[in-house]
Structure 1
């Protein structure tokens, strides 16, 4: 299958999935109640959430910049922030293109090779994944009764028919086994031709650059500063959601524990390859808020409120960043050739 066709299918599936989940979540909401909730909201709390977002995104840009220093590249925090917000903006249009977009923007601004900066993106994603897993474990211990009941019931009711069907499980397992065997045979049979191909050489160089980015964590001048920014980012993520509780009377009574639950549930929802978490965020967060005394419509309304405010902020800041990049790119003349790509061996 051609790459463009494959990307088109992935985009189509993502759009359909997001639209279906959003429709499923919104069908229990009274549009009049949703409009009334937005009208009665205290937008000072939304403004505060936006200010906390600025701190989080600045800290993320600075942390990304720190990862590139050991590789010999020193972009400014401003350029890193522009690239970061442009990537977030791109993610609203196409799923999972934000990482590549931010690396491409940074190449235009500071001529940092995409494969190197992408390796640092992978490195910071690994740390964020570890933070999310730690928070998931902490929140499950904190709210074991509520979350255990929720996730057991939520997934069991939807997946039980599939797992109870032995023929479906057998067919999927057989297909995976056959597919893995055919792929392994093909790679082994044509390994010499593959190694001589242009794509193999390009892929090898790209992976070397990524490895250099990953290994940059070991070369940090100040690991404590990196960890500080990681903690600050996730603290701001928590506060961004928590302060929105006070924007409406119906949710002002939700406590600190509910904030942790929404943080981890929202993080899991945003990990689904759907543009901007549309549908997945509303469905998961709306359902989990039922555990804290809200009705399902009120839970989904709050999820919609939170998601909409954050999405509008990303559209505003990401759109402005993309425009600024267009004006800045002409101020950096293109070099005769890109800087050499560091390899893991050169970093030792």
Structure 2
């Protein structure tokens, strides 16, 4: 049954990506697209790629601060593990990158993969808070964001509520394991292992309760979004696309939300469809230049991170089959 569900998820993801690619490129003039891409200023594209790599270093530093209540880490293994995560999300289905990232950091350090995975979940909640902040900011300057009011309210409630819930859990249920260890469900060896895994994820997830770097975590999260915004601005400079600074923010928000949608590895199709839709339907940009822009903003995040991540993946000697033995997916 598990394999049927995975197969179904895989089919759905590829189908959604195919639909996204069809929408974005259904009226593509290949020669015009190549011509437009050939006129791109590569200096700006390379700079955007470097900033994307720098954003991973910043993300690794934020992860380092999140992990401090659990264990002290140097930055290099965290950077490498994060890159492996991007590689995994870029080439493997089921968003395996997050599991690979947790497993990679657990191989050479005194931390279990399930604890690391808990901190990664916490990291994603911080990212959602950053996204909500971006939406609120650009909603002030763009009446076009009015249509997404319900989405914005839901996102804010979910992220802030989730963070408050995690803090409450960490403070009032720190002895999580002791509360449930006597349940009949957890009396077997399998049940004990399951409870141990849940406790480990819980430990990572609630690490924010013990952190002394709350302000830094918030500032680093905002800095990440600023870097992502700068990357898209650089692609605007590279292509000469005529859009406003607010439009750049709306493109960033739309493509980020597209990443959440189930898709083929690398967010292919969904990402491109979101960018083309915003540029053509909302801001009236030309179809060919919008398609080229979508290709480029996807490439600046995909190419450097996947290739660097692949290098770290090879040097780590990790095999995908190892994950089947790992407790975070046991």
TM-score category of the 2 structures, normalised to the smaller one: 0.7 to 0.9
CA contact (8 A) 1:45 1:247 kept: yes
Q: Deviations over 1:207-231 (max 9, x none)?
A: 2112211221121132232223212
Q: Deviations over 1:279-327 (max 9, x none)?
A: 1111111111122230234323211221123211222221122123239
Q: Which residue of 1 aligns with 2:10?
A: 11
Q: Which residue of 1 aligns with 2:80?
A: 82
SS in 2 for 1:29: coil
Mark the CA change 1:193 to 1:224 in structure 2 (over 3 Å): closer, same or farther.
closer
Instruction: Measure, in 2, the Cα distance between the counterparts of 1:198 and 1:6.
Output: 26
SS in 1 for 2:72: coil
Structure exhibiting the larger radius of gyration computed from Cα positions: 1
> How well do the aligned residues superpose, as a CA RMSD in angstroms?
2.2
Q: Deviations over 1:78-133 (max 9, x none)?
A: 10011111111111221321111100011112242011111111111111111112
Q: Which residue of 1 aligns with 2:207?
A: 216
Instruction: Measure, in 1, the Cα distance between the counterparts of 2:17 and 2:108.
Output: 33
CA contact (8 A) 2:186 2:195 kept: no
Unpaired runs of 5+ in structure 2?
Answer: 150-182, 319-325
Unpaired runs of 5+ in structure 1?
Answer: 153-191, 328-337, 339-348
Instruction: Measure, in 2, the Cα distance between the counterparts of 1:241 and 1:294.
Output: 16
Instruction: Measure, in 2, the Cα distance between the counterparts of 1:139 and 1:199.
Output: 49
Instruction: Measure, in 2, the Cα distance between the counterparts of 1:287 and 1:297.
Output: 12
Answer yes or no: is 1:257 the counterpart of 2:255. no
Identify the match of residue 229 of structure 2 among 229, 238, 246.
Answer: 238
Answer yes or no: is 1:201 the counterpart of 2:201. no
Aligned 1:88-237 pairs, distance under 5 A: 88-92=86-90, 93-144=92-143, 146-148=144-146, 194-237=185-228
Q: Deviations over 1:172-197 (max 9, x none)?
A: xxxxxxxxxxxxxxxxxxxx764444
Q: Which residue of 2 aligns with 1:167?
A: none
TM-score, with length taken from structure 1: 0.76
SS in 2 for 1:293: coil
Pairs aligned (count)? 283
Instruction: Measure, in 1, the Cα distance between the counterparts of 2:18 and 2:190.
Output: 36
Answer yes or no: is 1:56 the counterpart of 2:46. no
Instruction: Measure, in 2, the Cα distance between the counterparts of 1:135 and 1:141.
Output: 10
Answer yes or no: is 1:38 the counterpart of 2:29. no
CA contact (8 A) 2:32 2:288 kept: no
CA contact (8 A) 2:36 2:289 kept: no
Q: Which residue of 2 aligns with 1:276?
A: 266
